[in-house]
């Protein structure tokens, strides 16, 4: 059963400017997420960082908590070897997801200067059906 759906957009050019602030980067990106972003070239880094930021806001919308729900750095967006994105939650965000019995699904895209993320929080079946 669907618990919540969230969608968000982020301008890539705005993120390119934000990435120049070390304070912003430490507040927004978790350590594994930041390491993955650092491995990319400047343009690709801005695209991916914008998608990661949109994913954080989409998660908060799906959770129904609003922007102050969890520290943004706890909502890490990483990629599988295949390139598929997934959430690697930490701290209070991970605890909340587990306590609610939820699984997070994530889709990312970027085109024409925008990055978008869609999150679906799925309630896990506790009856084993």
The structure tokens 């799925």 sit at 122
By percentage, how much of the chain surpasses pLDDT 90? 90
Cβ-contact 103, 96 below 8 angstroms: no
Domains and CATH numbers, the chain: 2-123 (3.90.470.20)
| Alpha helices (H) in the chain, listed in sequence order | 12-18, 22-28, 31-38, 42-63, 91-100
Over residues 17-39, the mean pLDDT reads 96
Distance between CA 87 and CA 108 in Å, rounded? 11
Which pLDDT band, with edges at 50, 70 and 90, does 69 fall under? Answer: confident
pTM above 0.95, yes or no: no
The pair of structure tokens assigned to 127 is: 């009856």
Which pLDDT band, with edges at 50, 70 and 90, does 51 fall under? Answer: very high
Pick from 120, 10, 4: nearest CA to 65: 4
Res. 100: pLDDT tops 60: yes
Res. 127: pLDDT tops 80: no
């Amino acid at each position: 059963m669907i618990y919540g759906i969230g969608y968000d957009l982020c301008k890539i050019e705005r993120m390119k400017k934000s990435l120049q602030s070390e304070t912003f980067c430490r507040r927004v990106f978790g350590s594994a997420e930041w390491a993955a972003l650092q491995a990319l070239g400047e343009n690709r880094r801005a695209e991916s960082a914008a998608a990661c930021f949109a994913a954080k806001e989409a998660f908060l919308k799906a959770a129904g908590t609003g922007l102050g729900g969890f520290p943004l750095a706890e909502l890490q967006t990483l990629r599988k070897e295949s390139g598929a994105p997934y959430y690697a939650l930490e701290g209070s965000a991970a605890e909340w997801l587990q306590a609610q019995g939820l699984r997070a699904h994530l889709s990312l895209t970027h085109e024409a200067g925008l990055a978008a993320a869609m999150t679906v929080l799925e309630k896990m079946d506790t009856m084993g059906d």
